[in-house]
Structure 1
């Protein structure tokens, strides 16, 4: 059965602090490790009141230091915000401290609005140099070359797996051309998922990094003991996206009983499309949803986002997802006999 992993934005919930959000992330990572998840990724977002993982490399070090075996990485680093050398040094340091456990996923979006992007980078280039920056970054991890004047130390000759992240065909084409693994952000931008996977797989060029395509698909999983309870929990992330669309991002809000009573139908319809790659419900409902997604996408791995207000409910959700994976594995084994 394909591996399941966890994507975490270190949510800052209403009435709480970034410090508590980060402690919750470590606790969730430790729980995911015990449940057998493959990797635990955090993502770079800026000027977001509900996200505590802006200093992504620092958060990765914190989580890797508090776990033992699970892979820890970035899903992702928004490379246009940084020089490739800085990221090579940061992830070379992480790999040196936690060998064989660090992943580096790269995106070309700013992870912020334009004003924030300008504050981050000063010179906003809209990611135009992203392909060249990825190639430069990959070179910093190559074996030492006496002719290469600038080197990443730590970084040289370290095996840090580099992924391309995307929500459009651009990332799929780049990952295929460079022969890198690819992760699609279908948990918030599902429209081009199937086309991007087709482009990636059909155009993939074997490389020193990867002999055949490897695609990971992101999905929201909000699981609870009943469909009704899970649907209520899901209203927190629905509210979060509604506020972002209105330009009023805020901390994650508590779930509500009737979202339709608070928001216009046209806004809810838009959010329904954005969050359509989600499995929300009881264990049985989530199992059907994830089985269908795996069948449709032929994903090599699923990475699960669990955007839930209550931390204990969030832990319970990934417990259910882990049990679902075990059930699917048994079904697959039985079918192959």
Structure 2
């Protein structure tokens, strides 16, 4: 379903399918945006075991890192896109990599790997895409899609294994409002167009000047994530919702979905520094009184562990 949705977008906007979409080259963009942050390497600190499944491996940067840093591991990438799988297979052959990739549905992992066969399942910047593109009960932007992905991963996870999530986050408290002053002449045009085109939810805008507007903080940030990527990625970004849970909502979703036996070993959130750098010359970000404030946290890192026994689950 996800693959069909992406190809439909390419057809609608007349784009070349062989280009595929921006998020499968995320590591290239963020390397340019923030040379000092090796954002994917942090994930390796929480990987356990040798049988490691990377959901939505994109350009293969995380598969490469796992192979390099964990020589005894057996990394496996799974993606629904034929284009991505074919590109990764070419990369594997050209670079003589030992990791492998398979085409598959992240919501039906048991069809491709055995139950309780994986030590680590990784969702790195992919759950928000599943949330945004895959329909559940006839609608996109549905938290049941995230729940289904978590269920699927937990079923193939071995006792003692871990699910690692790195993805977008909404900030708390959600009732905060933020003022954006555009430093580029077409900034307000961007915002008004975005509010009209964004598929995820209605965007609330209070325009207070030619180049200024006040928005709920999470509407402001959802727009700025798209604004950061630029015009080339707009057609894709306007179809995606990067922040879909607050930190407390995420933990609640995990507990409700996986039950009390699932252990949340780590739950933290932070600002991907590259966003502040990329936006600093394009906008001023302020509170309602016009005082400069930092951008809120953009990204979460969550580690969920499947206990080895019932006693550990009660700790």
- Quick check: TM above 0.5? no
TM-score (norm 1): 0.35
Q: Going by fraction, where is strand more abundant, 1 or 2?
A: 2
TM-score (norm 2): 0.37
Q: Going by fraction, where is helix more abundant, 1 or 2?
A: 1
